[in-house]
Amino acid sequence: MLVEMMKQGFGIAEDFNCAETILAGANQAYQLGLDADALKLAAGFGSGMAMENVCGTLTAAIMVLSRLFVKERAHESTRIKELTQELIKTFEAEMGAFDCAPLKAQYRTEERKCRDIIEKAAEILDRIVQRELQCELQRELQRES
């Protein structure tokens, strides 16, 4: 879903940074309903918040998880905390880091820029979102029966 969009080059023509690419792509893939102004919220998270700290793909992915799975606020349950931890731990296990600097050192190339990092974040986000939406659907069906 989202990962396929990334593999097809979503965000390149628009000159999006990594965070903008994930948030704007997810907005389309998951029908988040975010307008152009809301999408600007990801702009400052690219390049690890411009400090090569936590990768912008992850901060944007957390925004997506929040939009999808928080009803009103984070403190309503532990769900967003658990999903955020899963996202970051899975990304780190598969990529070897979650901070921008070591990721760029290992994966960024002149030709592909950070596309491998973006694609991996999209792949992990897809897995979590699809699983969680499926679980929500099953819970809903159980309540109805």
Query: What percent of the chain has pLDDT above 70?
Result: 100
- Residue bearing tokens 């349950």: 77
Residues 6+ apart with CB under 8 A from 72: none
Residue 16: pLDDT band with limits 50, 70, 90: very high
Q: What is the pLDDT of residue 8?
A: 98
Contact of 65 with 80, CB cutoff 8 Å: yes
Q: What is the pLDDT of residue 113?
A: 98
pLDDT in tens, 23-69: 999 999 999 999 999 999 999 999 999 999 999 999 999 999 999 99
Q: What is the mean pLDDT of the chain?
A: 97
- Measured CA to CA, the distance from residue 96 to residue 112 in angstroms comes to 19
Q: What is the pLDDT of residue 33?
A: 98
Contact of 67 with 53, CB cutoff 8 Å: no
- Measured CA to CA, the distance from residue 138 to residue 133 in angstroms comes to 9
Is it the case that residue 143 has pLDDT exceeding 90?
no
